[in-house]
Structure 1
Amino acid sequence: MKSIQSTLKQWAKSTGLKERLDKQREELLTDPYIKAFIRENKDSVTNEMIDSGMVKLYEFKKERRACANCPGLKECPNMMKGYQPSLSIERGHLELHYLPCALKVQEKKQKEQSQLMKSLYIPKDILSARFEEIDMDGERGEAGAAALEFALKANPGEDGGGLYFYGKFGVGKTYLMGAVANELFDRGIESYTVYTPDFFREMKQSLGDGTFQEKLDTIKKAQVLILDDIGAETTSSWVRDDVLGAILQYRMLEKLPTLFTSNYDYDELEDHLSYSDRGGIEELKAKRIMERIKHNTTFVTVAGHNRREKR
């Protein structure tokens, strides 16, 4: 009785399979990427490796050719979209691996960077602000210079000093903060910009759905936190002590910079924070909050006209 192996050999001869395999082998070995791999590993690659690794070499050739004619990440035809095949020798055999291509690496980097600049209730035009678009010689020149200096030198975890931008309604305080956030983004530093009144309202609502602590931790642990329009919120002891106080205390201890914009100066904000929804004045508690703000910010006046009004 003939063995299975001899039967297969006889079948291969009769069907011309060997000739077809030899031809396929020759074609594979003319592929420039396969030739380059063999040349780089000429002291290690054997004919036996090539013969036993034909399927992997064919897959490598097909996928690598698709990479050479890359149609873009969205249209990538490879089995693993965005991944490029790579050959190696392991334990005397050819092995095929897939590594992220340059476009996939770039996409991942962009996704990671997009997490660096977060916002809550901030208009999109503010988030696209750039220092190049700000007239540094105009009315906002001094404030713009202070903002730019902070953005270029900020060092969260080592220096917790921030800024307190004071000015009338519509003079461009928030826009300057948007430019700061974008500059920090370019430096790979995370920032979180929030419109304070809406944020405090959300924090109050989060008590009912059990997300309060998670949201509080996200804000207080941001590398750079920008609290926009502080003082515009309705005063309550809970907001002042359990939300704002907790955020500022943590950030002061961890040396994480906090920036503020407000229509109130330091003294006016202290008066605002001293009012209690329970009635009466709580000056001491307001002073405690203000001491944390004053100690960790530089007061900057933003001058100019109301840019939201037609002139």
Structure 2
Amino acid sequence: MENVGAQMGKLLQQKGWNQKVQAISQKVIKDPDIAAFLQENVSEITPQIIQRDLSQLLEYLHFKNDYQAGKETLMPGYYPELLFSNHQIEIVYRPTQKSKQEQAQKKLAQRVKAISLPKAIKNASLQDYFTSTPERIDALTAAMSFVRDYSQDPGIFHQGLYLQGDFGVGKTYLLAAIANDLAKKGFASTIVHLPTFILDLKGLIGSKSKSITQAINEVKKAPILMLDDIGADTLSAWSRDEIIGVILQYRMQEELPTFFSSNYKMDELENNYLAVNNRQEFEPVKAKRIMERIRFLAKEVTVLGPNLRNP
């Protein structure tokens, strides 16, 4: 390296370069990272090549110094690397470790589409699920079994879970944890807070930007669907037959994994929610039709424990 530097200095003097340029050039080739790069390629890089490609080395040095000083660079999230190829010194910009982690997190987030759900569940994980009762342990076991079985063979039908329990016991968190763990394995999920979704659909009546049918299609065709809080709103015949019924019919026909959470047990959901609409009309046959689809799509799992929202 000393020989290369000395030869470079002589070459600059021979070329008649002024002292300012010489000082800049010496500063560049004395940088530890640049010096190491030149040493690695000492048999191929000549002083003439260094002189010719000095602008590349200078660009590398400026970018590196700005990055290390915490200044804004022209390519945020990237770091320069020197290469010698085809007798030329070149710079390539590679993602930093932090940028790689952020990109990986972004990809994971894109695999979980959450509609009208709290941000608190964004980082939900099965590993962090609170297991304080035997029933919660059983629920976690069922969730982990689904993730394992689906990951091993996503091409066949896998029955989802119907998580039933009181307010605040962590049903929504467990759904989000399943979705996040599946995302890490490359599988996309959609989690929908069903009462809010139905309310939003009512707001689309007469809308020119998006139709109710389009919104329902986006949900019903999700590779893995999680309907959170079914039974928490006042049921209308329209929401039961034209929204819930349409979604579940499609998913049963296509054998798509579907999850539910509810404060109702399955039998209670059928008799206390689905069978009576907001006009107080009793329609047990229609309720039974919906429940047949739910029971086909998911198995009931009880989640017991303290109210984690108000400990």
TM-score (norm 1): 0.74
TM superposition shift of 1:171: 4.7
Q: What letter matches 1:207 in structure 2?
A: I
Q: Assess if the C-alpha contact under 8 Å between 2:129 and 2:140 holds in 1.
A: no
Alignment of 1:292 with 2:299, yes or no, is no
TM superposition shift of 1:230: 0.9
Q: Which one of 145, 149, 162 corresponds to residue 149 of structure 1?
A: 145
TM superposition shift of 1:181: 4.0
Distance 1:265 1:133, change over 3 A: closer
Q: Which one of 94, 102, 112 corresponds to residue 97 of structure 2?
A: 102
What is the DSSP-based 3-state SS (H/G/I as helix, E as strand, rest coil) of the residue aligned with 2:191? strand
Distance 1:21 1:255, change over 3 A: farther
TM superposition shift of 1:35: 3.0
TM superposition shift of 1:201: 0.9
Superposition pairs of residues 148-297 of structure 1, within 5 angstroms: 148-155=144-151, 156-169=154-167, 171-187=169-185, 189-209=187-207, 210-211=209-210, 212-252=212-252, 255-271=255-271, 272-275=273-276, 285-297=286-298
What is the DSSP-based 3-state SS (H/G/I as helix, E as strand, rest coil) of the residue aligned with 2:158? coil
TM superposition shift of 1:62: 2.0
Q: 1:4-44: CA deviations, max 9, x gaps? A: xxxxxxxx99xx63454344333322323223333444454
Q: Which one of 55, 61, 81 corresponds to residue 76 of structure 2?
A: 81
Q: What letter matches 2:291 in structure 1?
A: M
Unaligned runs of 5+ in 1: 1-11
Aligned to 1:24: 24
Q: Assess if the C-alpha contact under 8 Å between 1:160 and 1:251 holds in 2.
A: no
Aligned to 1:8: none
Q: Assess if the C-alpha contact under 8 Å between 1:140 and 1:303 holds in 2.
A: yes
Looking at structure 1, the residues matched to 218 and 130 of structure 2 have their Cα atoms a distance apart, in angstroms, of 30
TM superposition shift of 1:138: 4.1
Distance 1:81 1:171, change over 3 A: closer
What is the DSSP-based 3-state SS (H/G/I as helix, E as strand, rest coil) of the residue aligned with 2:73? coil
Q: What letter matches 2:274 in structure 1?
A: L
Q: Assess if the C-alpha contact under 8 Å between 2:162 and 2:301 holds in 1.
A: yes
Aligned to 2:62: 62
Q: Assess if the C-alpha contact under 8 Å between 2:229 and 2:263 holds in 1.
A: yes
Looking at structure 1, the residues matched to 17 and 253 of structure 2 have their Cα atoms a distance apart, in angstroms, of 75
Aligned to 1:119: 114
**Which 10-residue stretch deviates more, 263-272 or 276-285?**
276-285
What is the DSSP-based 3-state SS (H/G/I as helix, E as strand, rest coil) of the residue aligned with 2:232? coil
Q: What letter matches 1:164 in structure 2?
A: Y
Looking at structure 2, the residues matched to 167 and 300 of structure 1 have their Cα atoms a distance apart, in angstroms, of 9
Looking at structure 2, the residues matched to 42 and 308 of structure 1 have their Cα atoms a distance apart, in angstroms, of 65
TM-score (norm 2): 0.74
**Which 10-residue stretch deviates more, 104-113 or 44-53?**
44-53
Looking at structure 1, the residues matched to 192 and 247 of structure 2 have their Cα atoms a distance apart, in angstroms, of 13
Q: Assess if the C-alpha contact under 8 Å between 1:165 and 1:299 holds in 2.
A: yes
Q: 1:165-184: CA deviations, max 9, x gaps? A: 23345554334434434544
TM superposition shift of 1:164: 0.9
Q: Assess if the C-alpha contact under 8 Å between 1:160 and 1:252 holds in 2.
A: no
Q: Assess if the C-alpha contact under 8 Å between 2:165 and 2:264 holds in 1.
A: yes
Q: What letter matches 1:105 in structure 2?
A: K
Q: What letter matches 2:202 in structure 1?
A: K
RMSD after superposition:
3.7
Looking at structure 1, the residues matched to 43 and 156 of structure 2 have their Cα atoms a distance apart, in angstroms, of 53
Alignment of 1:50 with 2:45, yes or no, is no
What is the DSSP-based 3-state SS (H/G/I as helix, E as strand, rest coil) of the residue aligned with 1:291? helix
Q: What letter matches 1:195 in structure 2?
A: H
TM superposition shift of 1:63: 1.5
Q: Assess if the C-alpha contact under 8 Å between 1:157 and 1:255 holds in 2.
A: no
Aligned length: 293
Q: What letter matches 2:191 in structure 1?
A: T
Q: What letter matches 2:301 in structure 1?
A: V
